[in-house]
Structure 1
Amino acid sequence: MANHKSAIKKIRSDERKRLRNRYQHKTARTHIKKLLTTKDKEEAQLLLKVVHGMIDKLTKKNIIHKNNAARKKSRLAKYVNKLVATA
């Protein structure tokens, strides 16, 4: 257990940050799953913009690695481009 006042404060702030990061990461994963289950190309393209923003935000805050983010974005873009447009 921490003895110094600053260490105790650090533990409290780390816990808040951990929960926030966990929430943002889980939300992004949920949106990715939603995108992967979408069969409509127009809807998928709109969702892709949202998901790209979420992934970029996670990368900026060092929640995920930049190469991991690039791989996810690339694979999602490939998936959306393969979808057939429903007219």
Structure 2
Amino acid sequence: MAKRTKSALKANRQNIKRRAHNRQMRSTLRSALKSIRASLDAKDLTGAKAALRRTVSIVDKMATKGIIHRNTAARYKSRIAGRLTKTAV
């Protein structure tokens, strides 16, 4: 780290904490997406619908908090909902 002022040191500490939190949240999102894909591949519609609700909730929270962009969130939701309807048919 180049700057050693108090404010720069504090900003660095904050960045480290935020990065760790954001990485953990993204990991949670990836796990949720993986579980819904597994349910869809196994043709488990009831499990997929429950996983869809959980995943959409996680995606919306992340978009609200600015961890992912709202368009990225919309894309995730659209794709998983589309796969669910495609599998249900």
Q: Same fold (TM over 0.5)?
A: yes
Residue 62 of structure 1, CA deviation: 1.4
Percent same amino acid among aligned pairs?
A: 35
What is the match of residue 10 of structure 2? 9
How far apart are the structure 1 equivalents of 2:14 and 2:44?
42
How far apart are the structure 2 equivalents of 1:84 and 1:3?
58
**1:1-87 alignment, distance < 5 Å:** 1-38=2-39, 39-84=43-88
Please, which runs of 5 or more residues in structure 2 have no aligned partner?
none
How far apart are the structure 2 equivalents of 1:44 and 1:60?
24
Instruction: Note if contact 1:48-1:77 (Cα within 8 Å) is conserved in structure 2.
Output: yes
Residue 35 of structure 1, CA deviation: 0.4
Length-normalised TM-score, structure 2: 0.87
Residue 20 of structure 1, CA deviation: 0.4
Length-normalised TM-score, structure 1: 0.89
How far apart are the structure 2 equivalents of 1:53 and 1:36?
16
Please, which runs of 5 or more residues in structure 1 have no aligned partner?
none
How far apart are the structure 1 equivalents of 2:80 and 2:87?
11
Instruction: Note if contact 1:40-1:83 (Cα within 8 Å) is conserved in structure 2.
Output: no
